[in-house]
Structure 1
Amino acid sequence: MKNYVTQFLSLLFRTIIFWTLAFCIFVFIRYYAIGAEEGLIVTDYHISDILRYVSPLGLLIGILFAIVEFIFDKFLSKNLSLALVLIEKFVIYFIGIILSLNYVFPLVENELNLNLTTEEGWWQTSQIFWIIVGYFLICSIVFSFVKIANDKFGKGVFFNLLLGKYRKPREEKRIFMFLDLQASTTIAEKLGHYNYSELIQDCFYDLNRIVTKYDAEIYQYVGDEAVLSWTYKRGIKNNNCVKLFFHFQDRIKKREKYYLKKYNLVPVFKAGIHGGKLIVTEVGTVKKEIAYHGDVINTSARIQGECNKYKELLLSSNILINDLSLSSKYKTEFIGKIELKGKEEKLDISAIRVS
């Protein structure tokens, strides 16, 4: 619940700022650039006063937008088709805009002596109303596009892409986690490919509910495996790269009844984590992606591959563990110097468990 509240407040803050700025820009474009609208003769005085009344509109739309997007994203989108989600959102926003303008227009009309009628059914013939609806749709697309891009590439990466930061390879220090379903082959044979696919979908849905809490980025999904990444600073902060794994396991355990009822099993995941310097660059033209190249990724994958051998759920390189500040809640046990496939030098690996 605390995680939901934090995520909602973050979204609420962003939407209020976004829509307040958006409607301020709308006023400048619509009234200042054009000159007159519905009896308004534009002066600097009028503009400053109108902007004062745009703020409540931005606040109302921002609150509505945050509530609708949060509810659909967290609770409804999974079970509804995209077309139905878009239709339902449009209806809600359409009604919300009418109610918001019913509140704002009388304020502007009374204070500035403008002809902004709000009689019953006013919106059907109001030119400014339909312009606002069109502007709202455009701004919504922009907001959603940026949000989707940030979800795909990670916080701030999308803007770096626009600026061309990754056109040339750059060195970064990052942490990678390879998260894989234990006994996946056996489970797939037991469930069949359709039910197995639904199981993976449910598991990754649970994973997605917590990744933002720990500042993680989902780099890619490969079958029943998810690859997560952090900047090194964010990954070691508050032990995010370790806490995420155990929170994910706890979340699945809390939904044990659901998994047992639907699949007659409770999925268990194993993971390997490692961090260090690697190269990040932009690849592709038809389908652009951010790609990471370096030993860190290969090593993380091979550490995860050792989990079954040592019957551990979470293995990490000691290089990373030495930079973490693990509390007494966690216990580490040195596994030894492991010779990983494809590497000449042996790597110190330890298991991390909850005490």
Structure 2
Amino acid sequence: MSAQRHHLWLLPVAPLIGALAGLFYWFTLDQDGTLIGSVVRGVCIGTLILFYERELLLPAWRNRIRRWATPLFALATLVTYASMIVVANIIAGTVLQLGLDVTESARAAMVMSQSGFAYSIAASLVVILVFRIRDLVGPKVFGHLLLGLYHRPIQEERVFLFLDIVGSTSFAERNGDLATQIWLGRIFNALAAPVRRSGGSIDDYVGDMALITWTIRSGTRDAACLRCVFDFASVLEADAASWEADHGGVPRFRAALHCGPVVTAEIGLERHKITYFGDVVNTTARLEALSKTLDVPVVASADLIRRIDRLPASLRIRDLGTHTVRGRDGALSVVAVSSSREP
């Protein structure tokens, strides 16, 4: 699913949120102004900012500043928002003067009151804070914590992906720990977009390993969890020249996927976290170790493959037989997954 299609829901929602913000401003701070003027300005400002936050506007710039330290990120975002507020006010003024004819002149329509600009900046600061926290804990985890979905433990079925970066130890020996951390950070930054496009969530990073999870429905629908792995490989290959120039080669990884029932719960008092309890998580970790033994880059349990509604033609499945996995009663059927474009 393309990013544009994934965010189609935002087309009606962003203007609605902006209109509500404009209505709130008129009701609390600007009843001397016109209701329609506040609402139109709210629609224009809210739409631009929310489209920006959902990467429908200036995605390269947004992804770049997200890697900066929080103070620099906040300053750059505030400047970006302020610029968007100015542009949105020009658009709103044009609509009010030419389309709705509610002001005397185009110049007057484009003038924004000091209170209106201050309100927009204050609202922007709140949005910056919310989205920064969301970035730090992960979008899905943030939503779950905000809604309290896992305040009480629940049992559910989920898909898990353990993704391990190959060669990190030798890279550290050649380049040092600091350079290795920069290298890993860049790799995991590249992982974010494929995970988001697949509807998954990066649950944790442990050294050179990332743990990604999906609900069973979102992970198996149209093989989203498998697509994520090869989407990530494509993202790395698309930037191959840069990886070669900066780090001496394109990163490689191993991936293992499995699914099954887990207990999902919110834990922690001062630092909240969504965590998963059950054999499925441990089994996925053992599968990742097995992929190294078998020298297969991407492995999955047959249990997961059976749950996928439709395997895309771009992927090939090869049976690897049954294997005993430490800590699990009974053998586990395992398959190799590869791209049909691979030789």
TM-score range, shorter chain: 0.7 to 0.9
Report which stretch shifted further, 255-264 or 186-195. 186-195
The offset of 1:261, in angstroms, is 1.1
Amino acid at match of 2:117: V
1:45 corresponds in structure 2 to none
For 2:323, the equivalent position in structure 1 comes to 338
Deviations 1:144-167 (A, max 9, x none): 455455553444x54543443322
Give the AA of the match of 1:255.
D
Q: Deviations over 1:240-296 (max 9, x none)?
A: 000110111122122221111111122111111111110111111111111111111
- Separation in structure 1 between the aligned mates of residue 317 and residue 89 of structure 2, nearest angstrom: 59
Say whether residues 1:347 and 2:325 are aligned partners.
no
Contact 2:160 2:281 in 1 (8 A): yes
2:24 matched residue in structure 1: 25
Report Cα offsets for 1:311-345 as digits up to 9, x if no partner: 10111111111111213432222212211122232
Please tell me whether residue 139 in structure 1 is matched to residue 123 in structure 2.
yes
Deviation at 1:222, TM superposition (A): 0.9
Sort the Cα spacing of 1:29 and 1:313 in 2 relative to 1 into closer, same or farther, 3 A: same
What aligned pairs does 1:107-256 form with structure 2 within 5 A after superposition? 107=96, 118=108, 129-148=113-132, 151=135, 152-155=137-140, 158-256=142-240
- State the distance in 1 between where 2:338 and 2:92 align: 57
The residue aligned with 1:93 is 81
Unaligned runs of 5+ in 2: none
Conserved? CA contact 2:65–2:76, under 8 Å: no
| Distance (whole Å) between structure 1 residues aligned to residue 172 and residue 193 of structure 2 | 24
| Structure 2 equivalent of residue 314 of structure 1 | 298
CA distance in 1, matches of 2:12, 2:187: 30
Partner amino acid, structure 2, of 1:27: W
Q: Residues of 2 paired with 1:343 and 1:79: CA distance?
A: 40
Q: Secondary structure at the match of 2:151?
A: coil
**Paired AA for residue 212 in structure 2:** L
Aligned equivalent of 2:45: 61
How far residue 204 of structure 1 moved from its aligned partner, in angstroms, is 0.9
TM-score, length basis structure 2 = 0.83
Q: Structure 1's 328 and 86: CA in aligned 2 closer, same or farther, altered over 3 A?
A: closer
Distance 1:231 1:119, change over 3 A: closer
Pair 1:289-2:288 in alignment: no
- Structure-2 change in CA distance of 1:98 and 1:141 (3 Å): closer
With over 3 angstroms needed to count, the CA separation of the structure-2 counterparts of 1:20 and 1:184, relative to structure 1, is same
- What amino acid is aligned across from residue 16 of structure 2 in structure 1? I
- The secondary structure found in structure 2 opposite 1:209 is helix
- Provide the rounded CA distance (Å) in 1 between the counterparts of 2:109 and 2:50: 29
Q: Would the aligned equivalents of 1:269 and 1:313 in 2 still touch at CA under 8 Å?
A: yes
C-alpha change, 1:12 and 1:334, in structure 2 (3 Å) is: same
2:307 match: secondary structure? coil
Structure 1 residues 209, 13: closer, same or farther in 2, change over 3 A?
A: farther
Taking the aligned partners of 1:338 and 1:178, their CA distance within structure 2 comes to 18
Tell me the distance in 1 between the aligned counterparts of 2:36 and 2:22: 11
Cα RMSD (Å) of the superposition?
3.1
State the shift of 1:102 in Å.
6.0
* Aligned residue among 255, 262, 277 for 2:261: 277
Q: Which runs of 5+ in 1 are unaligned?
A: 41-49, 124-128
Aligned partner of residue 190 in structure 2, secondary structure: helix
Match of 2:289 among 299, 302, 305: 305
Find the aligned partners of 2:318 and 2:181 in 1 and give their Cα distance.
34
Distance (whole Å) between structure 2 residues aligned to residue 78 and residue 100 of structure 1: 23
Mapped to 1, the partners of 2:278 and 2:241 lie a distance apart of 41
Mapped to 2, the partners of 1:185 and 1:104 lie a distance apart of: 55
Quote how far apart the aligned CAs of 1:16 are.
2.8
Q: 1:190 to 1:161 in 2, by over 3 A?
A: same
Moved more, 207-216 or 15-24: 15-24
Amino acid of the structure 1 residue aligned with 2:305: I
| Contact 1:332 1:351 (C-alpha < 8 Å) held by counterparts | yes
**Residues 327 and 160 of structure 1: CA distance in aligned 2, closer, same or farther (over 3 Å):** closer
**Code of the aligned partner of 2:81:** Y
Q: TM-score, normalised by structure 1?
A: 0.81
> Any conservation in 2 of the 1:191–1:263 contact (CA below 8 Å)?
no
| 1:190-239 C-alpha deviation (Å, 9 max, x unpaired) | 22212211211111111112221110100011111110000000000110
Equivalence map 1:256-267=2 (5 Å) = 256-267=240-251
User: For the structure 1 residues 119 and 173, does the alpha-carbon distance in structure 2 shift closer, same or farther, using more than 3 Å as the test?
Assistant: closer
The separation in 1 between residues aligned to 2:245 and 2:261, in whole angstroms, is: 44
| Identity rate, percent | 25
Q: Which amino acid aligns with 2:162?
A: F
Q: CA deviation at 1:10?
A: 5.8
1:44 is matched with: none
C-alpha distance in 2 between matches for 1:92 and 1:252 = 29
In our comparison, the structure showing a higher alpha carbon Rg is: 1
